[in-house]
Amino acid sequence: MKKSELQKARAAYEPKLPGVLKGNVKVVSGRPTKSVADEAEIQKLFPNTYGLPELTFESSSEKVSASKAINVGVILSGGQAPGGHNVISGLFDGIKKINEESRLYGFLMGPGGFVDHQYIELTADIIKEYRNTGGFDIIGSGRTKLEKIEQFDKGLEILKKLNIDALVIIGGDDSNTNAAVLAEYYKSINAGVQVIGCPKTIDGDLKNDLIETSFGFDTATKVYSELIGNIQRDCNSARKYYHFIKLMGRSASHIALECALQTQPTLCIISEEVEAKEMSLDDVVEEIVNTIIDRSKNGMNFGTVLIPEGLIEFIPAVKKLIAELNDLLAAKASEFASKHHGEQRQWVLENLSCDNAKVYASLPEGVARQLTLDRDPHGNVQVSLIETEKLLSEMVGNRLRVLKKEGKYNGKFSPQHHFFGYEGRCADPSNFDADYCYSLGFNAACLINSGVTGYMSSVRNLTKNAEEWIAGGIPVTMMMNMEKRHGEMKPVIQKALVNLKGNPFRIFSELREKCAKGVEFVYPGPIQFFGPSEVCDQPTLTLKYEHE
Amino acid sequence: MKKSELQKARAAYEPKLPGVLKGNVKVVSGRPTKSVADEAEIQKLFPNTYGLPELTFESSSEKVSASKAINVGVILSGGQAPGGHNVISGLFDGIKKINEESRLYGFLMGPGGFVDHQYIELTADIIKEYRNTGGFDIIGSGRTKLEKIEQFDKGLEILKKLNIDALVIIGGDDSNTNAAVLAEYYKSINAGVQVIGCPKTIDGDLKNDLIETSFGFDTATKVYSELIGNIQRDCNSARKYYHFIKLMGRSASHIALECALQTQPTLCIISEEVEAKEMSLDDVVEEIVNTIIDRSKNGMNFGTVLIPEGLIEFIPAVKKLIAELNDLLAAKASEFASKHHGEQRQWVLENLSCDNAKVYASLPEGVARQLTLDRDPHGNVQVSLIETEKLLSEMVGNRLRVLKKEGKYNGKFSPQHHFFGYEGRCADPSNFDADYCYSLGFNAACLINSGVTGYMSSVRNLTKNAEEWIAGGIPVTMMMNMEKRHGEMKPVIQKALVNLKGNPFRIFSELREKCAKGVEFVYPGPIQFFGPSEVCDQPTLTLKYEHE
């Protein structure tokens, strides 16, 4: 692997650890916990791991007696997030600190490698190559869902063969839910293997009172903000384009909100607000159109619009349309397929209920086609493939043309489109993510050494210096409730959507009128690793505002 | 303007100047020059500014007597490029060093502001806010072409009113060509105004023996390489996508080539090579397909493909098709428009000559439609709107499906698409561009002080320390030849295409077999401003290899 100069220089960075984890550690148990909702059901599903106490590590002056070596397996699950390599480095250093003979095994290409017994031993030489780098390429990642007993049993074979004491699963809400189910199962059969989760996702929707943020959110939003800032500087120099910028982040709008706080775009749509206000697609378009018209009156025919990836699913009317389309096209798949290309739109319109037909008719042709053609293996519309940024700009353009004819608009509208996702998921972790991830991994080693299972590694108090960070473990069941998935009620970790009453949204909403009217662009620039602390070491504004 | 922390910290950076420009300067004239071709025609068109000597500045121990104050006007012309603000800061500091009473005026929104007398005085307070920042927003930019006598005369009115001695035009090849025409005109009428050009363009195609690189190329390619690197790390972690990445850069492929040298993608298409080998679109597709098939045999169904924006125009067959389409649709515009949407493709096929009809028929429907529908005000196909990255991936996908049916391919092909342009044009300038631009501007002030006109500011020896940079002026006519533009022969600065015999391309071509077969990805990471010199101060590999 040929290394860039930055990679070489960055390898020397020593991630910060919470003060408490630097020396001898003792574990302090809090009170028994309960799930965020549906207590009885969750308790029933997790008889062995429900109600465990919250754990906190404290410094201990007592010399801890020598611990036995620990063998640990680690899995990277789901989409990449900056800092995964540092979780693994921290875990490696943590178990080596406990006992030099401890070993770390990495299962390859995600949970699939665990089930299929594909693994490598992660030695000091390998780890060294990946410290402070982005990506999950040290062992790869994958989306196989660990949810079946057969998978658990199959995995247990390799754990036993390798004499592995604990499995660390680095993943998002679904993967950590599965980690909890696995922990419960291994406990129930006395498998003798602990399971510990680590909160990963750039989406920022895996958080609660005790998990302040998921790792990767910091770096990814900083990369996107760099790009948005660059585009805004271009926008303000050329003064002739509207840039519609879609940002990855599945359902929640945390990424869009954080980027909006960082860059102060002309407009930023927040899906959770669209849903709360029961806005239609036309309402969203109208909001953009009105801003564009106001600006054109002041000679400003340019601006930026941030759009969260999940928007379309938060618009109640579109959600209903998609649901009916899914049913319709499943029920009459062959009839639809028999229609000639040019007739399909009409056929769909005739077969939808009146309300949904109206929404469908309002969609530009390309998007309407996407809704009926691009379907996943289950026949469902693949919402993530919908180019919402183009959909909105096309509808905005159409509306502006009508208003121009009516003499209500006299500006120029030239849109540009961008979608940022893969650009940030594997970026070199910011100092914050490098530190946080390393600490999460190191802390996971401490949890393993405490003998617990079904916990998520928790490092908090993150707006303070790393020295003051609080480290410990949170029972995963504590974050769970029951939700409907594929028609069945399932125990899942509650997703954190943007809280419309929280500080980050409040500060954004106080700012936005000014942004819509003028040019309030901020240009954050690229992530810096070597400069002054106020440039290199700031957490996200979301985290800062949430804990102010 | 709310400033980001990086912006605040970066404001303090002091750009490096060539050693010779730091103290007293004397100008040394070289021999008379001639144009790169078409000497007689160019000389005839530029009787007053042809054949001027190349100028070099040298340190002088003589104390220079006090110079009179100089009033200068500056114009940012065309697309943004990182560092424009530093050219202006350097120019400002340069004329202030000559005489504290000197004044700098900025014409607003490009050449249009010059013609329409829209300007501001650029004071020390204003300049201070923009030092070392990206963008052209200090005065804005625009694409009005300065080519008519009426514009020159109109502009002269404001120059005279403001008592301006010299006009500095910061632009690409076209803008500098126009600067030369303007210089010639003002000289011919004894207007008493000098005109000096500065070589700007991220495309990197404004260069020759004496202009080693245009400013902005360094930063823009570093931003794109950061993003490509991030995508490659993602690609190598998930191991399931082919990323087709189109890179801005009009006709020449310098940007794609530089990014390929920096990031070592699986494949990178170089338009100049496609043209030289007279490859068809199918040939390009076949090259990609073959690489994908080879990789699939080793279980690698992932990779990255860099595509220069101008590719499509370099494919001889497509070039011919576009030429005939332009003629056809101009001649039979109303007949075409009268056709029903679904019939247009067939109509075009029937009206094209046989060879071009075949090429047209081979294009995916969406692209074929783009070629006929999206036309500029002159009725021409807007090649820059063609989503070449999607065109290629669609054709590759189609071909792979056929080969799969024939049992010749057994992999999975999932493409992702990216287009990077606006993300880099206004990025914060790298140390290189910050220094180079500041020096170009400062040097322009020295040229003005020497009383010359029709020169381009030239700073070279750029792979050495700034201390050793050579500063001077190059007569713009020296870079010119005659080319056909809109049916007429015009004097223009010769565009520098990728030299297929040059070192950068040679090194790339030696590397690419390995890249196509394995994973040779390099991850450059974001531009750093504060770290070790080997991270922060490297010029582009293109520049380095060209001068090795």
Q: List the alpha helices (DSSP H) in A71-137.
A: 84-98, 111-115, 124-130
Distance from CA of A516 to the nearest CA of B (A): 15
Cα B283 to the center of its chain, rounded Å: 27
Q: What is the DSSP string of A473-531?
A: EEEGGGGEEEEEETTEEEEEEPP----TTSHHHHHHHHHHHHHHHS-------S--SSS
List chain B residues with CB under 8 Å of A423. 227, 230-231, 418
Asked if A236 and B137 come within 8 Å (Cβ–Cβ), the reply is: yes
Out of B5, B136, B523, closest to residue A538 by CB: B5
pLDDT at B540: 98
User: Which residues are CB-neighbours of B108 under 8 A, at least 6 positions away?
Assistant: B118, B119, B120, B139, B140
pLDDT at A340: 82
The CA distances from residue B490 to A7, B45, B482, B483, in Å, are 48, 10, 5, 5
Q: Tell whether B425 lies on the interface with A, counting CB pairs under 8 A.
A: yes
In the DSSP assignment, the letter for residue A65 is P
Q: Which residue is catalytic, options B203, B205, B433, B435?
A: B203
Residue in chain A nearest B261 by alpha carbon: A4
Of all helices (H) and strands (E), which one includes residue B307?
A: strand B303-308
Instruction: Please judge whether A234 and B80 are an interchain contact, meaning their C-beta atoms are less than 8 angstroms apart.
Output: yes
Contact by Cβ (8 Å): A529, A207:
no
C-alpha distance across the termini of chain A, in Å? 43
Q: Look at residue B313 in the predicted model and tell me its pLDDT.
A: 87
> Tell me, what's the pLDDT at B327?
87
Distance CA B405, CA B5 (A): 57
Q: Residues 66-125, chain A: which have Cβ within 8 Å of B?
A: 76, 79-80, 109
Name the residue type at position A487: G
Question: So what's the pLDDT on residue B249?
Answer: 87
Residue pair B64/B99 in contact by the 8 Å Cβ criterion: no
Q: Which helix (H) or strand (E) holds B254?
A: helix B254-263
Q: pLDDT value at position A407?
A: 97
Interface contacts A/B by beta carbons within 8 Å: 188
CA neighbor of A201 nearest in space, from A191, A210, A213: A213
For A465, other C-beta atoms within 10 Å of its C-beta total 12
Average pLDDT for chain A: 94
Residue A140 touches chain B, beta carbons under 8 Å: yes
ipTM of the complex: 0.96
In this prediction, residues B398-416 reach a mean pLDDT of 97
Put simply, the answer to whether B522 touches A140 (Cβ < 8 Å) is: no
Collect all residues of chain B within an 8 Å Cβ-Cβ radius of residue A5: 534-535, 538
DSSP-derived pairing of the beta strands B194-199 and B166-171: parallel
Task: Supply the pTM of this predicted model.
Answer: 0.96
**Confidence at residue A374, expressed as pLDDT on a 0 to 100 scale:** 64
A488-493 and A103-107 as β-strands: parallel, antiparallel, unpaired?
Answer: unpaired
Substitution target from B202, B237, B262 for chain A, most A beta carbons within 10 A: B237
Taking CA atoms, B206 is separated from A247, B141, B198, B212, in Å, by 35, 19, 10, 9
pLDDT digits 0-9 by tens, B131-143: 999 999 999 999 9
* Residues contacting residue B341 through CB under 8 Å, at least 6 positions apart: none
The pLDDT assigned to B381 comes to 73
Of B453, B436, B447, nearest to B211 (Cα)? B436
Burial of A153-167, coded b for 16+ CB within 10 Å and e otherwise, reads eebbebbeebebbbb
Nearest CA in chain B to A421: B231
With CA atoms as reference, report the closest residue to B415 among B434, B426, B399, B431.
Answer: B399
A398, A383, A399, A394: which is closest to A417 by C-alpha?
A394
- The residue whose two tokens read 């665990």 is A114
Cα–Cα distance measured from residue B465 to residue B19, given in angstroms and rounded to the nearest whole number: 9
Q: How many CB atoms lie within 10 A of CB B483?
A: 16
Residue with tokens 């697609």: A281
Mean pLDDT in residue range B232-256: 95
- CA–chain centroid gap for A345, Å, is 35
CA distances to B2, B97, B133 from B130, in Å: 13, 19, 5
Contacting residues of A for B418, CB less than 8 Å apart:
422-423
Residue A4's pLDDT is what? 97
Q: Kindly report the nearest CA distance between residue B262 and chain A, in angstroms.
A: 8
Query: With 80 as the cut, is the pLDDT of residue B191 above it?
Result: yes
| Residue A244 β-bridge partners | A305, A417
Task: Please answer yes or no on whether B236 and A418 come within 8 Å at the CB atom.
Answer: no
Task: Please check whether residue A177 touches B, CB under 8 A.
Answer: no
Q: Does the beta carbon of B237 lie under 8 angstroms from any beta carbon of chain A?
A: yes
The pair of three-digit structure tokens given for residue A469, joined into one six-digit string: 């960070």
* E strand intervals along B396-469: 415-420, 455-460
Known catalytic residue at B203: yes
A461: left (phi over 0), alpha (psi -120 to 50) or beta: left
Mind spelling out the 3-state secondary structure of B317-381? HHHHHHHHHHHHHHHCHHHHHHCCHHHHHHHHHHHCCHHHHHHHHHCCHHHHHHHHHCECCCCCE
CB A279, CB A341: distance < 8 Å? no
pLDDT over 70, % of chain B: 98
| pLDDT < 70 stretches in chain A | 64, 374-379
Give residue B470's identity as a one-letter amino acid code: I
pLDDT at A64: 66
Contact B9 A531 (CB under 8 A): yes
Which residue, B477, B125, B424, B92, is CA-closest to B259?
B424
pLDDT tens per residue across span B358-394: 999 988 887 888 888 766 666 677 777 789 999 999 9
Q: Where are the alpha helices (DSSP H) in B19-68?
A: 39-45
Nearest Cα of chain A lies from the Cα of B79 at a distance, in angstroms, of 8
Q: Judge whether A30 and A54 are in contact, CB under 8 Å.
A: yes
Average pLDDT on B215-239 reads: 98
Strand-pair category, A166-171 with B119-121? unpaired
Mutation target for B interface from A222, A244, A422: give the one with most B CBs within 10 A. A422
Range list of H helices, A189-253 = 217-238
- Which residues 6+ apart lie within 8 Å of A316 measured at CB? A275, A278, A280
- Residue B13 sits at the chain A interface (C-beta within 8 Å): no
Residues in B touching A261 (Cβ below 8 Å): none
Residues of A with a catalytic annotation lie at: 203
Q: How far apart are CA A524 and CA A9, in angstroms?
A: 23
